Chain A
């Protein structure tokens, strides 16, 4: 984590970020953290800040309170009628808050620097501890033009003991979409979180969501990446106190010549925390899928339980799956494991289904669905689970031609 003293003010940080970005340009395979995902194509893309346009209220595909970020710009918060207990404020003018929030983000990180330097919106959402909020909060990212880059920053502060259902729906059309979401979970608070990346097929999506957990906090997060041309979806979890829990699972669905990169970082800094990750990927056509997962256990983080499992399914001869699960362990009394497999659909299972009179396409659909379904069971909030199941099944049906 970034020591605050490095940058005394927001201006310092912004300047440092700018000079860093100028010095490194876009990362490519030469940088270890970007080994499988190169952004060098962005050098040739014109990227302008989004133009202010009248925001059109769009109905979300999911029920809940919607905050719509059009082209990466902040919504009109005064007009938003949020339920009691949720306070949203524009902090783009409040440099002190931005500065404090960024001190909680990882240092020397390309996406953090990019956000500090190019921010197009900065919104803080506070969740009061006493409030009982049943409806999910939906952050919806829409629109954008082909020569635009969107860099919204959203800082969600969940008070001790509070509970929130949070959905991120990324459905924009900017050339570059770089949302940065920081969620601080107070003591004993809980969060159900989903993230759907379904951006336009020319977009480069570089999303970073970071959870920072206090003691006894609990986050249940699930990401689905299926849109855009090139995706790098990072989810970080930072245990800032003992005895917290995180489940961070993800599914990526690749077709045509898409590139999906799911990168996760779990930092166990304190004792008795538990993390669990299930990752599944299905790749068709010429798609490429990447999973990079790092679990770090600090010297004092005894009794850590860190589990990770990633599996990829290749449906086509031209698809590629890459994985780099990583364990970095400095404490001895821990239970940590990771597993990874890559393969194709099991021919014997396919044969079994066909021998029962199920046609090829349908049998394949069933097997792909089965491959993905056990991860979806990780989602504890039912409306979220149902919504993502629909997204995943829809994709499978379209790929196999069983619609």
Chain B
């Protein structure tokens, strides 16, 4: 019930304007506008990358030039001018800060406004934040404690220099350079992101967390995250993001790769709350993300949980390649769209190994004039003996001007594998609303309460800190959708 009260408070606080809409003035160092081999060389040079990395980027760029953007999603994407984007913008500071005291105070104030517990985090239970401001990681904490456990948690640019063998071995092995249009673009121009390595037998002592933040105007953000969990290790990774209000559309094309070896488990949670644009969708973020995890080892497990409330356009399918015997893939998703938002999101479960299992629970909530599509693939391959999948997609419509769509794909090449899919579409019933109103809640509180109930199965999967924020977000996102 506490969370509900907080949701109500959050809804009251929000006065129509986007809560996290502000721009911080910090000088940034930019690459020239547009994309060319020279810009890629510039980025690679700035990052002091080894030669192999530059070669890799250029290879990706050459693939990208030959590719076309995907057009199968139920999305109306205005043409993107790739030559009108800054591909590199880093906060200007002479040296990388060694502790929080060295971090630009303006930056810290931004985090404070966002409510990121960067300063207070030491009091918060075991959250280490690798904060990404624009494209460069500026502060990483709890390094020492993690180092004691043998865990590597650092910006990927640093990992490329410090742990080239690991990065070379795994980067691009889950999402190949030529996988899709946006992943190829990311591979060519990615500026930073996180690198996590959990050694054999280690249970990561805390939940790892990165807050992404897009700040500089016209800066496409191209994050690259790589998480490797060796045999019998465990890690829970939290990703959350907000972005300031602005006028021009911003492209975000991140790539996340997860590798789980034998008996390893990776739990990846996301709360996405980027600027959705104004009532017409103008100015919002384009979130075109490729996330994929490989369950390479036997009995390995990858679990994706996402709460998607922001962005003008979302194109995102966190996937699992279940190669190991008895490996497990999970996808829990809540996607809320309001105003003129468009979301086409879901997952892919590629079953390759014997006895692999996957669960998909997707909850889509559409309001305003938005369109919300679940699109998911379940593929049982020849060797996926006795594999199982269960998929449940529920859509909730708030109002009669929005759209809720479900597009599952099922491919079965093994008779002993079982695929089950269920989908329903409904709206908030008059009875439910009436009951809440009769108890003294106003209509918006009632909707927030009912919607949070509708999403409960997914919310339960979120780590505690995130669950509270996510509940608030859902309340705020649906604001103005009733009455």
Contact = CB atoms under 8 A, between A and B. Distances in A.
Interface of A: 32, 35, 299, 302, 312, 314-317, 319-344
18 contacts: A314-B412, A314-B414, A316-B415, A321-B410, A322-B411, A323-B408, A323-B409, A324-B407, A325-B408, A326-B408, A328-B405, A329-B395, A329-B397, A332-B397, A338-B406, A342-B412, A344-B415, A344-B416
Contacts, number: 107
Contacts of A328: 74, 403, 405
Given A320-B411, A324-B409, A341 B418 contact: yes
Contacts of A317: 382, 414-415
A339 B423 contact: yes
A347 to B, nearest CB: 9
B424 interface: yes
B57 to A, nearest CB: 28
Interface of B: 72, 74, 380, 382, 395, 397-427
Given A316-B415, A333-B400, A339 B422 contact: yes
Contacts of B419: 340-343
Given A320-B412, A331-B400, A326 B405 contact: yes
Contact of B406 (A312, A322, A326, A334): A326
Contacts of B411: 320-322
A199 to B, nearest CB: 26
Contacts of A324: 407-410
A315 B406 contact: no
B400 A323 contact: no
A223 B112 CA distance: 63
A403 to B, nearest CB: 23
Given A325-B421, A338-B423, A341-B421, A332 B398 contact: yes
A365 B355 CA distance: 28
A338 B405 CA distance: 12
Contacts of A32: 72
B132 to A, nearest CB: 35
Contact of A336 (B399, B403, B407, B424): B424
Given A332-B427, A334-B425, A340 B408 contact: yes
Contacts of B397: 329, 331-332
A300 to B, nearest CB: 9
A106 B415 CA distance: 36
B340 to A, nearest CB: 15
B289 to A, nearest CB: 21
B400 A315 contact: no
Given A336-B424, A339-B422, 6 more contacts: A323-B408, A326-B405, A327-B425, A329-B403, A342-B410, A342-B412
* Interface majority SS (helix, strand, loop, mixed), chain B: strand
A317 to B, nearest CB: 6
Given A334-B425, A341-B418, A302 B400 contact: yes
A232 B378 CA distance: 22
Given A32-B72, A326-B405, A335 B426 contact: yes
A326 B74 CA distance: 12
Contact of A341 (B402, B413, B420, B423): B420
A325 B409 CA distance: 7
Contact of A321 (B398, B412, B416, B427): B412
Contacts of A344: 415-416
Contacts of B382: 317
Contacts of B422: 337, 339
B120 to A, nearest CB: 42
A32 B375 CA distance: 13
B267 to A, nearest CB: 28
A312 B400 CA distance: 35
B374 to A, nearest CB: 9
B412 A340 contact: no
A52 to B, nearest CB: 43
Contacts of B421: 323, 325, 338-341
Contacts of A35: 409
Contacts of A322: 409-412
B425 A329 contact: yes
Contact of A326 (B398, B400, B402, B407): B407
B218 to A, nearest CB: 32
Contacts of A320: 411-413
A269 to B, nearest CB: 15
B420 A337 contact: no
Contacts of A335: 425-426
Q: Find the residue from B395, B406, B422, B426 having the highest chain A CB count within 10 A.
A: B406
A193 B87 CA distance: 60
A277 to B, nearest CB: 14
Contacts of A312: 412
A328 B375 CA distance: 12
B410 A327 contact: no
A327 B405 contact: yes
Contacts of A326: 405-408
A112 B404 CA distance: 28
B410 A332 contact: no
B415 A337 contact: no
Contacts of B424: 336-337
Q: Find the residue from B395, B410, B427 having the highest chain A CB count within 10 A.
A: B410
A325 B425 CA distance: 14
Contacts of A342: 380, 410, 412, 417-419
A318 to B, nearest CB: 8
A294 to B, nearest CB: 9
A343 B423 contact: no
Contacts of B72: 32
Contacts of B395: 327, 329
Q: Find the residue from B74, B407, B412, B413 having the highest chain A CB count within 10 A.
A: B412
B425 A343 contact: no
A329 B404 contact: yes
Contacts of B425: 327, 329, 334-337
Contacts of A333: 400, 427
Contacts of B402: 330, 332
A392 to B, nearest CB: 20
A257 B273 CA distance: 49
Contacts of B416: 344
A343 B415 contact: yes
Contacts of B74: 328
A54 to B, nearest CB: 47
A35 B395 CA distance: 25
Contacts of B398: 332
Nearest to A294: B407
B369 to A, nearest CB: 10
A345 to B, nearest CB: 8
Nearest to A341: B420
A192 to B, nearest CB: 30
B418 A343 contact: yes
A330 B370 CA distance: 10
Nearest to B406: A327
A315 B407 CA distance: 26
Contacts of A321: 410-412
A250 to B, nearest CB: 17
Nearest to A292: B409
Nearest to B400: A332
